[in-house]
Amino acid sequence: MTAESVVPEDTNGDLPLDLVAAIEKGLQADAALRPLADRPLAKLTDKGLAHDHLRLVGSGLLLRIPKQSQRGYAPADNLRYQAACFARVSESGQGPKLAGVLPPRDGLPFGALVVEEIAGRPVKLPEELPALAACMAKVHALPLPPAEARPPLEDHRDPVAGLLTEIEDQARFIPEAGLADDSRREIEAELAWARDVAAGLDGAAQPVTLVLTDSHPGNFLIDTTGKATIVDLEKALYGSPGVDLAHSTVYSSTTWDLDVYAELCLDEVAAFYRRYLEIVDEAGAAGLAARLRPWLIPMRRLLFLRAITWCVMWSVQHHGAAKSAEALEAGGSDWSASKSEAALIAHVAGRVAEYLRPDIIARMRGEWLDNPGLNTLI
């Protein structure tokens, strides 16, 4: 989602009156935000399934308005989680600063965050992969807080178990997804591998840092100096940096957003990993590269499973009826097609259908199953 880079398409007069009124009341209720209450609002192009974005014209700020909680939280908890994501990632200098929070109210049922608007353009791949590596290295190099200070962010002290829990929750939709036989066999083979790995770890540890989690290239913007900034931060947590590195370079990520579309070759992906390993210790995380290296391919395989099983889940759930306001307020996600504009749903449906094709799944698995594989090149 790179809403920050898109020209506004709507103004106040085209927005629901109850939404405009709720935003004005929310801004008025916060002394620090009150001067923004009379700013015109401009809706940005709908590019994400989980949020709408409104520009507070002339302020350098955006309203980030959830459509749902992707983590299944009730609205107030969802907002608190997202606020913590922005506050903590921005400490690295690589994410938008949090300016304020508008609590849920009538007309604004999930509330909103007020965040810094980042001026920039979409990433160019593969040439700007080093900028993504530098961005993530600085986030991963942030000091790890003690366990008691990590909430409300999720804390995957065992990153494999944490990721596998999410994968298994999504994989339960496999029987309903109408997958091709070869696709299903490929996915189930990877699931079997993941379960074996998780069962055999026996306390094996890997580095844990603050991670972005949703680090596909469409979620970054490049400024005039070439610096990359991550602009979608709702899923940050404490877990494995290997997930971020994988999610920024797997096929289903680099071809998701048409503004950054690229099909990376194995050498380009390997060069990205090598660059990250070169600079992450310099960014302030001494020794992280050596401790992380053995986990790069396992976490890439788990990220692949997370992405593919999300596609499976979405392919089933987007056909369903939208959840009631009461159900969402109680906590839960809603992937119904009615939650987003038709053009966005059509785009997502096309991407999901491609990623679930047998040849594409086999292509993605080939990174670690073929010889030579990615592991020999890093």
Q: How far apart are CA 24 and CA 36, in angstroms?
A: 8
pLDDT tens-digit series, residues 133-156: 999 999 999 999 999 999 999 999
Per-residue confidence (pLDDT) for residue 181, from 0 to 100: 98
Per-residue confidence (pLDDT) for residue 363, from 0 to 100: 97
Q: Is the pLDDT of residue 52 over 70?
A: yes
Tell me the residue type at 5. S
Q: Is the pLDDT of residue 158 over 60?
A: yes
- Report which of residues 12 and 206 the model is more confident about: 206
The secondary structure element, H or E, covering residue 313 is helix 296-317
**Average pLDDT of the chain, as a whole number:** 91
What the chain holds in terms of domains, given with CATH numbers, is 3-116 (3.30.200), 129-377 (3.90.1200.10)
pLDDT tens-digit series, residues 313-346: 999 998 764 544 554 555 555 545 556 678 888 9
Per-residue confidence (pLDDT) for residue 1, from 0 to 100: 37
Per-residue confidence (pLDDT) for residue 8, from 0 to 100: 46
Mean pLDDT on 102-108: 97
pLDDT tens-digit series, residues 210-260: 999 999 999 999 999 999 999 999 999 999 999 999 999 999 999 999 999
Which candidate, 208, 175, 189, 370, places its Cα nearest to that of 299?
208
Which candidate, 277, 282, 254, 288, places its Cα nearest to that of 367?
254
Beta strands at 228-230 and 220-222: parallel, antiparallel or unpaired: antiparallel
- What is the percent of the chain where pLDDT is above 90? 81
Q: Is the pLDDT of residue 47 over 90?
A: no
Residues 6+ apart with CB under 8 A from 135: 94, 220, 227, 228, 229, 230
Reported as a pLDDT band with limits 50, 70 and 90, residue 72 is confident
